[in-house]
Amino acid sequence: MLITIADVLTAEEVTQACTILDAAEWVDGKVTAGYQAQAVKENLQLPEGHPATVKLGEMVLAALARSPLFMSAALPLKVFPPMFNRYTGGGHFGTHVDTAIRALASSGQRIRTDVSATLFLTPPDQYEGGELLVEDVYGLHSVKLTAGHMVLYPSTSLHRVTPVTRGARVSSFFWIQSMIRTDGDRTLLYDLDTAIQQLAKESPGNPIGVQLTGVYHNLLRRWAEM
């Protein structure tokens, strides 16, 4: 399931983030790439423990906590602290699959990467190229979103970032270990949750809504890993 979430960050938060990131010292993005990804990764990023990374990561995590759509789609158990990257001057990231297990540099805690996230921070008219291309069974999806918007997609997906030929593309990226391991099961639960919410709007108090809510939670109880 590939899903976009609008306005994860407010316009004010995007402006604050960009101001901080413009003044930050970037390093070679290969420092967090796996063996195969290093050969196709050409970008810059902030170190994991950099003060700007920590401050802005907390901003992003707070924004995720207030997003019902993120909670419904990702069903998060653990979220890897958000990181930040920058593509410019032809920077790109060739086709790859995200590393299955990520360890936090600060604690060594490991999370399984079930869902990948890219939160766009640069308005799309300020750079050329930089599309996120995600492959799934339905074909190739091109994603280039408004600043403050985010895309979620399965970490098992082949994906790449096309070269940025003008300007700079800055974004936050991170991974989620979901309570629901497989994308197919997460999609079923998301579709069911969406239907329940729509029914509640169109027919408040409908007993079918109660029944479907019970089905949702019983499936979640059966499949969830804690």
The domain 183-223 is placed in CATH, from the list 4.10.860, 1.20.120, 1.10.760, 3.40.30, at: 4.10.860
List pLDDT tens digits, range 105-131: 878 899 999 999 999 999 999 999 999
Residues in the chain predicted with pLDDT less than 70, given as ranges, are 31-38
Residue 94 burial (C-beta neighbours within 10 Å; 0-12, 13-18, 19+): middle
At the fourth CATH level, the homologous superfamily of domain 3-178 is q2cbj1_9rhob like domain (2.60.120.620)
End-to-end Cα separation, the chain, in angstroms:
22
What is the amino acid identity at position 135? Answer: E
Where in the chain are the domains?
3-178, 183-223
* pTM score of the predicted model: 0.94
